[in-house]
Structure 1
Amino acid sequence: MITLQYLLWCFVTLLSFVQGAINVEEVIQLQDDNHMIYLNPGNIDSIINGIRPYYVAVLFTTSDQGLNCGTCDKFLPSYHKAAAAVNALEKYQNLIMFTIAEVHDNKEVFRQLNLNSVPKVRLYPPSPNVTTTLASEFYEYAVTEASFDPLHFANAISKMLAISIVVPQDFDITEFSSYFLITFAVIIIFKKLVISKAPKYKLLQLFSVAAVLMFVSGYMFTVIRGIPFISRDENGEIMYFSGGTHWQFGSETFIIASIYAGLLICVVLLAVTIPAIADDTFKRDLLTIIVTGLLFYIICYHNGIYMIKDPDYPYKLLSV
């Protein structure tokens, strides 16, 4: 039987949660110029606990030089850049509240959560419940050496929330010079060996094929959504293919374009070039077998890429 005393206790408990909560506008006022909120015992409960319509990203870290946390110092700029990138997009403003919880300011919180090492990053989803706390459901991002690249952390946030985040890259004069020299050399070689000797209609055909491959490979998709050209996994290794059908890296489009080019070459060889060999039946049959095998290999390779992006895809061919 529910007693009046129990009902009063429930009412007081609910009222304490509601009174302790603050609205979005008040949370925004706690942000500094870098869109960052530093958590402390006076604000951590009201920002994270209870009902809230926004995500909360919490970086558990330390700036105490006595603790000698080099990883904390190296990851902090990536965290700041991701926060700035999200808040730079009007439609995503206030979608995520980026916060930092320092060890020396939140010792009791670290003890309650049993956090014995830093840095740790947790992403708390919006909550409709008044009983939500720091111990409630969350997504955790593993900080590794790859995390020192702002794109890695931004990609993780993008996948968790299914949004597109563009992180401005610092200008690297060395990298720019390398790309410039390589591009310049390729243009000079192409001009001397191809443009000066090939007929104009051949150049037009080449340009048309290149344009078609660029557009069907999804290159414009990555440009429009501002997706990074390459990304790295938790071990710092380059990720050539993203793990989702709604997302692809810039480098992935060039790989797909190369596959399409290979398929195109095989089809042209089988339909036009090889049948034109009329004086040597053995050579024609041998080339047909070789090119057909190559065509099947490319199709299997392309199928394998799609299996990476969608493991539940039912039409699996040979693994290559």
Structure 2
Amino acid sequence: MLLSHLTTLLCTVGIAFSAKPAVDKFQRFQSLSHPNPVDLNDATYNEITAAPRDYYTVVLLTALDSRFGCALCREFQPEWDIIAKSWNKGKVDDVKLLFGTMDFNNGKETFQKLMLQTAPVVLLFPPSIGPSATPDGSPFRFEFSGPISGDQLYTWINRHLPDGPKPPLVRPVNYMRVASAITLLLGTVTLFTVASPYVLPVLQNRNIWAAISLVSILLFTSGHMFNHIRKVPYVAGDGKGGISYFAGGFSNQFGMETQIVAAIYGLLSFATIALALKVPRMSDGKSQQVAVVIWGVVLLGVYSFLLSVFRAKNGGYPFFLPPF
């Protein structure tokens, strides 16, 4: 029995001593990765990813040297540093996670062993022991198909971690952008203060706003947005060697047709405005009568032409006016 108890005691001590290096290894690398990710080489990469491990490890395999021409590597490196700093500065006691970066110059053997032909590549190693361990312990691989943001990779990492609260991704304050925004705001306020005596009378002019409103109404009622959405042709052939300016059917139109209809609506508008505002203010009675006749003929002729356009687009349209 003494021999049996001694054997059990030695096994227990052996297990305790075998588990201790894994804990010490996590604490040691965690102290090196606060707040930036650990710079790895072939030896430290093998050490940080070796089993047994009761922690997660995320490693970025990159090639930052300008000789390799990896623009994506250099572009993503600041995003990777933000991810590591956000996690290391956040306090999550339930999840053990280490971040490491291995450049090609420091890990050529590892790149060859993994048969990597492109960079950057992110590997996430789950624990090999503990409740979150995977059966085979093989890493999850994230390959870059193009430029991505740190938020996308951070979301992918969190999907492979246990459920629970995670540190938010915190981006550093861009003081240059803040200074630029303040300078732009001050410049805008200064410009408005200096130019307001000249600009405000223009903005408060009723005739200008009336003209803008009228032009906008003419554009949209004539089908300007329809042309942009449908990408309609400007004109089309009529099948007889000529040009057709109006498309058949009320659901079709040409670019030239829009301009013609806008001109018709514009003439009708100006004729109506002249009869309503200008003619009553004329002091000479004969001139007033002549103006009424002229604008009345314009209204009749232009509106008659508009109805003929409707009949040309749809033969079943029942209305018309002479002379068209």
TM-score (norm 1): 0.43
TM-score by length of 2: 0.42
- The structure, 1 or 2, with the larger RCO (C-alpha pairs under 8 Å, 6+ apart) is 1
Structure number with greater Rg is: 2
